[in-house]
């Protein structure tokens, strides 16, 4: 006499399989390649944003990780982090653009490129 599968499923799910399917690590989508990321940013016109370049730099470092020793990898990540921190609170006053994806040029800095005010 065997155990009947729960909810009469002819293909019972084993506990280990269920845990694998719902593991947070497994739920994370794969990171895009740096070339794909660059094409995505370029298509959206986001290559002028400094944080975009930092994302690309980190993607390149991640891709080259297997060709570096652990000390070189750590140094490159630390350099990238230090450069990112030099941006400071770059989003202050630009929250809508940075976090909402809606670009609104500042009237103080420069006119929008290609606009009648742009020389």
Q: Which position has the higher pLDDT, 48 or 18?
A: 48
**10-30 pLDDT per residue, tens:** 544 444 444 445 455 555 667
For the full predicted model, state whether its pTM sits above 0.85: no
Q: Which tops the pLDDT comparison, 78 or 100?
A: 78
Among candidate residues 45, 26, 42, 24, the one with its CA nearest the CA of residue 34: 42
**How many Å apart are CA 42 and CA 65, to the nearest integer?**
25
What token pair was written down for 34? 């740096």
Distance in angstroms (rounded) separating the CA atoms of residues 95 and 81? 21
Residue 64 has pLDDT above 80, yes or no: yes
């Amino acid at each position: 006499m065997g155990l009947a599968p729960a909810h009469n499923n002819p293909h019972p799910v084993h506990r280990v399989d269920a845990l694998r399917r719902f593991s947070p690590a497994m739920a994370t989508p794969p990171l895009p390649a740096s070339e794909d990321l660059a094409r995505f940013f370029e298509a959206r016109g986001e290559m002028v944003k400094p944080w975009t370049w930092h994302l690309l730099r980190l993607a390149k470092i991640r891709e080259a990780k297997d060709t570096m020793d652990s000390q070189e990898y750590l140094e490159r990540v630390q350099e990238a982090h230090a450069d990112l921190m030099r941006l400071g609170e770059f989003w202050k006053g630009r929250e809508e653009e940075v976090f909402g994806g809606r670009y609104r040029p500042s009237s103080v800095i420069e006119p929008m490129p290609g606009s009648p005010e742009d020389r």
